[in-house]
């Protein structure tokens, strides 16, 4: 198992000589864009020699797939094409800083328009073990302000930072890091701003920071890790479910601890992991979505021409949807049938091309060009035009005007549905047909008058 010890010493000497120079640049130097050498980062495969369970969980997670994700790839190339405005190009090229972070800090790729087929193999593995566990600081809370101090590769792995203060590993050094126990380590990548226009593009961390989960008493605070690194199959670990500890060992041979943080990093993406033959993550995403929200319909009487639907964010530590909330679709599907089973009102039913009708009730963000015109390309986003998403632990009430008054015997069915990317946006990508993205039921209610 200890194959890193087999590396010849000759190499080690050269490496050590370079170490000295690198340390001068990095110690106490708050620059996260430091040019490191690719050899400094140790492959997740090596970590998996000892941390096999953690590595298995992380494999095919959205972090592992951040660079390979076909939806991200096709979309980022599409958005970059044909731009002429220098500021828009800067934004459209910026994606690799988070989606290929090991490549970015080692000098390639620096831009989406670089020849990505030349990306070093280790950098294609996305947000990985040695990247997160080399973090020592955060210099700004958006657009990936992580500051790293990696080791010098397998020969001299350096310090891996984590939640334990009494860890004594045999391969690498270990150090307690408070940052790793806080939402900030996640938040600096999960808040995204336009690099020139400053438009807030993703605000998951800010949404969490302003939510009741960010309790001023640390005992009651639920961090990103408190939900997302407690989830495992059978344990959705959302705000509306129990989040039991996960006793176990950090390696195949170390002592048991009361809680080992899981590394599946599941959000809501049920499409991309199966493209890499991982169905476990898709099931976990569905479990998460099913324990995120509730819906209820206000008491209805025959003769009434209005329907009031309440949607509550009961389980997410941020808005629903969060992240790339301009692409995600969370919507209400409403069907009212009379006592002969005939539909007398519908809303939010996908048509045969899987497109949502214009007047559906969709919770999302719409960006604008600065003059009030909606834009799809985030590179052109100068303003947030609308944002009707459901904040953590809050409810929204939607009032629907009906064409006919409700009658005795009518059956009202309402579902809250989720789809990762709108079909209309996917259809814009030329010569590309993705398998239809799954539509996931988050909540459902049926009442009879
Ligand atoms: C996105 C960043 C990130 C990635 C990628 C990541 N980890 Fe972690 N890991 C963390 C954080 C954060 C914690 C501590 C959570 C806390 O204390 O709240 C942690 C905890 C740990 C621990 C302590 C034991 C435990 O799980 O509680 C080990 C060991 C570990 N990680 C190893 C790995 C290995 C091996 C990989 C790759 C297969 C990996 N990590 C990938 C962020 C990451
Ligand atoms: C030779 C086995 C071995 C290898 C390879 C290995 N580790 Fe560890 N690691 C350990 C042991 C043992 C512990 C201590 C576990 C404990 O204290 O419960 C540990 C602990 C950790 C911790 C917790 C540190 C803390 O203080 O909280 C992190 C983080 C970690 N390893 C990351 C990594 C990463 C990243 C890699 C790959 C670059 C890696 N490990 C490779 C054996 C290994
Ligand atoms: C109280 C539990 C909880 C906390 C705390 C929490 N989340 Fe979530 N998260 C969820 C649930 C439930 C979902 C699925 C519903 C949804 O998509 O919003 C989710 C989904 C996500 C998604 C996928 C969203 C999408 O639709 O694409 C991301 C990304 C995410 N969380 C990141 C974070 C980050 C980063 C933090 C900390 C700043 C955090 N979460 C804190 C429960 C939580
Ligand atoms: C280096 C930047 C970076 C850091 C640090 C980071 N993330 Fe992420 N995270 C990403 C990117 C990029 C993606 C999306 C990849 C994709 O969809 O192609 C992602 C995806 C996710 C998802 C899956 C979302 C979905 O739609 O299913 C979850 C959950 C998540 N991150 C949680 C966390 C948590 C918790 C932490 C802190 C422990 C964290 N992230 C730290 C960049 C980061
Ligand atoms: C500061 C970090 C950061 C930067 C820069 C960034 N992203 Fe992301 N990206 C994320 C995170 C975090 C997620 C996960 C959010 C979620 O799941 O909703 C994500 C998710 C995505 C997804 C969803 C993928 C899927 O499979 O559903 C797409 C598409 C995407 N990003 C495109 C881009 C493009 C295009 C750019 C550059 C113009 C970019 N991103 C720049 C952090 C970043």
Q: Give the DSSP per-residue string, 65-111.
A: TTTT-HHHHHHHHHHHTT---HHHHHHHHTTHHHHSHHHHHTTS--S
Q: Which of 59, 129, 168, 255 to mutate to test the pocket of ligand 1 (most atoms within 8 A of CB)?
A: 129
* Same-domain status, 359 and 444: yes
- 286, 306, 328 - which closes a domain: 286
Say if ligand 4 is within 6 A of residue 420 CB. Answer: no
Are 195 and 143 within 8 A, CB to CB? yes
Cα→Cα distances 61→277, 291, 337, Å: 11, 20, 41
Strand 329-337 and strand 361-363: the pairing is: antiparallel
CA of 352 to the centre of ligand 4 (A): 33
* Same-domain status, 48 and 65: yes
- Class of residue 148 by CB neighbours under 10 A (exposed 0-12, middle 13-18, buried 19+): buried
Q: Classify the C-alpha dihedral 367-370-376-378 as positive or negative.
A: negative
Q: Give the nearest ligand 2 atom to 249 CA.
A: 18
**Closest ligand by atom to 179 CA:** 1
The residue whose C-alpha atom lies closest to atom 41 belonging to ligand 4 is: 186
* Chain length of the chain: 449
Are 315 and 290 within 8 A, CB to CB? no
Range of the domain at 248: 3-286
**Closest ligand by atom to 315 CA:** 3
The residue whose C-alpha atom lies closest to atom 36 belonging to ligand 3 is: 224
Model confidence, pTM: 0.94
pLDDT at 302: 87
* Same-domain status, 367 and 405: yes
Q: Give the nearest ligand 3 atom to 243 CA.
A: 2
Q: Which of 192, 389, 429 to mutate to test the pocket of ligand 5 (most atoms within 8 A of CB)?
A: 192
- 225, 256, 286 - which closes a domain: 286
Say if ligand 5 is within 6 A of residue 76 CB. Answer: yes
Query: Which parts of 116-269 are beta strand (E)?
Result: 135-138, 146-148, 159-162, 173-176, 191-193, 200-203
* Same-domain status, 339 and 257: no
* Same-domain status, 184 and 241: yes
Q: Max alpha carbon distance in the chain (Å)?
A: 87
The residue whose C-alpha atom lies closest to atom 32 belonging to ligand 2 is: 160
pLDDT at 435: 87
Are 411 and 400 within 8 A, CB to CB? no
Q: Count up the domains in the chain and report the number.
A: 2
* Same-domain status, 302 and 249: no
Count CB neighbours of 17 within 10 A.
Answer: 9
Are 146 and 138 within 8 A, CB to CB? yes
Query: Rounded to whole angstroms, how far apart are CA atoms 151 and 321?
Result: 37
* Same-domain status, 281 and 342: no
Q: Which residues of the chain have pLDDT under 50?
A: 1-32
* Same-domain status, 264 and 321: no
- 233, 267, 286 - which closes a domain: 286
pLDDT at 25: 39
Are 270 and 282 within 8 A, CB to CB? yes
pLDDT at 298: 87
């Amino acid at each position: 198992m200890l194959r890193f010890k087999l590396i010849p010493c000759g190499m080690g000497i050269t490496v050590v000589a370079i170490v000295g120079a690198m340390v001068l640049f990095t110690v106490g130097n708050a620059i996260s864009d430091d040019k490191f050498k690719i050899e400094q980062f140790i492959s997740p495969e090596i970590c998996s020699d000892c941390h096999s369970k953690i590595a298995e969980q992380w494999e095919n997670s959205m972090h592992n797939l951040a660079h390979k994700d076909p939806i991200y790839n096709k979309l980022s190339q599409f958005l970059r094409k044909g731009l002429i405005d220098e500021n828009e190009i800067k934004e459209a090229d910026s994606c690799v800083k988070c989606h290929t972070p090991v490549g970015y800090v080692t000098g390639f790729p620096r831009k989406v328009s670089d020849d990505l087929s030349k990306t070093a193999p280790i950098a294609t593995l996305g947000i990985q073990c040695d990247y997160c566990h080399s973090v020592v600081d955060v210099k700004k809370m958006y657009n990936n302000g992580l500051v790293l101090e990696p080791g010098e590769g397998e020969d001299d792995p350096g310090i891996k930072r984590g939640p334990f203060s009494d860890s004594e590993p045999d391969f690498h050094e270990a150090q307690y890091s408070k940052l790793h126990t806080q939402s900030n380590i996640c938040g600096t990548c999960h808040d995204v701003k336009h690099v020139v226009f400053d438009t807030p593009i993703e605000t998951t961390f800010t949404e969490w920071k302003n939510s009741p989960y960010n309790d001023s008493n640390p005992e009651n605070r639920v961090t990103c890790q408190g939900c997302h690194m407690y989830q495992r199959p059978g344990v959705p670990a959302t705000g509306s479910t129990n989040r039991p500890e996960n006793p176990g060992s950090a390696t195949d041979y170390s002592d048991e601890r009361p809680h080992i943080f899981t590394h599946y990093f599941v959000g809501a993406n049920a499409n991309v992991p199966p493209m890499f033959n991982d169905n476990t993550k898709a099931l976990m995403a569905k479990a998460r979505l099913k324990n995120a929200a509730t819906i209820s319909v206000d008491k209805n009487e025959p003769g009434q021409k209005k329907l009031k639907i309440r949607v509550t964010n009961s389980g997410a530590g941020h808005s629903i949807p969060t992240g790339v909330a301009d692409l995600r679709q969370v919507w209400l599907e409403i069907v009212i049938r009379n006592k002969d089973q005939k539909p007398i009102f519908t809303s939010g039913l996908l048509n045969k091309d899987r497109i949502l009708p214009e007047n559906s009730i969709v919770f999302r963000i719409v960006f604008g060009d600065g003059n009030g015109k909606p834009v799809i390309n985030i590179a052109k986003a100068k303003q947030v035009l609308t944002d009707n998403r459901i904040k953590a632990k809050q409810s929204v009430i939607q009032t629907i005007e009906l064409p006919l008054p409700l009658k005795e015997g009518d059956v009202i069915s309402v579902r809250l549905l989720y789809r990762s990317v709108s079909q209309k946006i996917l259809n814009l990508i030329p010569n590309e047909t993705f398998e239809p993205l799954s539509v996931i039921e988050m909540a459902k209610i049926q009442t009879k008058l």
